[in-house]
Chains A and B, each alone.
Chain A
Amino acid sequence: MRYAFFLGCTVPVRAQNYELSARKVAEVLGIELVNVSEFSCCGFPVKSTDAFTAELIAARNLAIASSLGLDVCTLCSSCGSTLTEVNRRLVRGTGLRGELEQIGREYRNRIDVRHFVRVLWEDVGVERIKSKIRRKLTSLNLAAHYGCHYLKPKEIFDFDEPEDPTSLDELVKITDATVTDYENKKTCCGGAILGIDEDDALQIAKRKLDSVREVQADALISICPFCSIMYEDNQRKIESRFESTYSIPVLYYPQLLGLALGLDPKELGLRMNRVRPDTLLSKLG
């Protein structure tokens, strides 16, 4: 299992804990993540301004991975969705290939795009991960957050089910923690409109934090850097603006899995989490 590791914009600057933990977990599970310095932004942030430019930016990244003969693995769900969508167009062989040649790139070998969590779910598989578990996180009660672009639009993904998703729940269960259902489980984090209307975005995020607090989860499990920015980095702001208190840790899934694989919290970047997961860690004994 070897992938071109696509970091995108947010992860290398604002979610190093996600990157660190994913790299550690990959190492333990025998997933090789190849660094590619020429990768840029995936294109998604430009889509609202000019979809064609966004498409070409995505296609350029895919051409680079294609020339290396490697499938792409992303940590950010929006990168995953954008690259998956454009990759399908390149595979179908639309005029986009010609456009790529105009910028001196070529989509040579057919490649695939996968979110890191999908790699764990499908390529590594539950049984293999289970065989590596060194520590059972039985005392934890966790809420899984799928976000939007991990599974949507459905027509470009051929796994799991966005209206009733299970892959992340099952992956959390591997650690022996309890996965709890909660209201608004499938709701968006609001991150995409944070720069447009901060109040609206924070209110959207607040709804989920309210639901997670109601079921008394020890943490919210995230698989996208922007979702974590909304629920973790902005948690204080939401608390002060709407006069509520949460103190809900938000862990990236590889951080959680890393604990179950017996890795040290420090190696998993847990010290970098904005909402300190101290209570959660002490529950593990």
Chain B
Amino acid sequence: MITAKDLNPNFKREVLTLPGGETLLRCYSCGDCTASCPVSAIDRKFNPRRIMRMVILGLKERVLKSDFVWLCSTCYACQERCPQGVKIFEIMTLLKNMAVKEGYIHPSFKKQAELVRDLGRLYEIDDFDNKKRERLGLPPVKKVIEEVGEIFERTGATKLLK
């Protein structure tokens, strides 16, 4: 059950000021997004229409603390088909970014971000990998791109990962 004290009217205002978020209030809950979503098709826990509704209602805690916010497969089917032009993919992204700022980062995304920060890439490349590449006639790959770590420092993303 939802009661008035669960509702935070500032939540939607925050979303409306962020890139892509300005389209949120166009949503009339038709459900085209959910019908198009490959995740919703197999797991009802993830439901973009419901998420848009929850944001408009102001259920900030429930959305940002949820497991489902991380379940978007980033396929864009919802956004492409929305008759109202709601940037659902962009809103899902900014909700995840907000969740991270509130300290609710999913461990899998945390790990990914740490790898990219430390190596400049998602997979570690060692001498064995480069030897294998050499045998195949492929050029070696640089193990670490330091500038990416500097970008994390600059944007404050390193602090977010603490």
Q: Which residues of A contact B (CB under 8 A)?
A: 7, 9-10, 12-14, 16, 19-20, 23, 35, 37-41, 45-53, 56-57, 60, 102-103, 148-149, 152-154, 162-163, 186-188, 190-193, 195-197, 200-201, 203-204, 207, 269
Contact = CB atoms under 8 A, between A and B. Distances in A.
Contacts of B152: 53
Given A40-B145, A41-B148, A16 B105 contact: no
B95 to A, nearest CB: 10
A148 B75 contact: yes
Contacts of A50: 97, 100, 113, 155, 157, 160
Interface residues of B, number: 56
Nearest to B151: A56
B80 interface: yes
A103 B105 contact: no
5 contacts: A45-B122, A48-B97, A163-B80, A186-B77, A203-B43
A184 to B, nearest CB: 9
A200 B121 contact: no
Contacts of B96: 48-49
Contacts of A269: 136
A102 B155 CA distance: 11
A19 B133 CA distance: 10
Interface string B40-65: 01110000000000000000000000
Contact of A53 (B94, B139, B145, B151): B151
Interface of B: 19, 38-39, 41-43, 70-77, 79-80, 89, 93-94, 96-97, 100, 105-106, 108-113, 116, 120-123, 125, 129, 132-133, 136-139, 141-142, 145, 147-148, 150-152, 154-155, 157, 160-161
Given A7-B141, A48-B70, A48-B93, A193 B39 contact: yes
A23 B137 CA distance: 10
Nearest to A78: B74
B113 A40 contact: no
Contacts of A10: 122-123
A200 B97 contact: no
Contact of A12 (B75, B77, B89, B133): B133
A60 B151 contact: yes
A196 B108 contact: yes
B100 A49 contact: yes
A186 B19 CA distance: 27
A45 B132 CA distance: 25
A14 B151 CA distance: 26
Given A46-B116, A203-B42, A40 B148 contact: yes
Contact of B77 (A40, A57, A188): A188
B47 to A, nearest CB: 13
Given A40-B145, A200-B71, A13 B120 contact: no
Contacts of B148: 40-41, 57, 60
A196 B113 contact: no
B116 A51 contact: no
A33 to B, nearest CB: 10
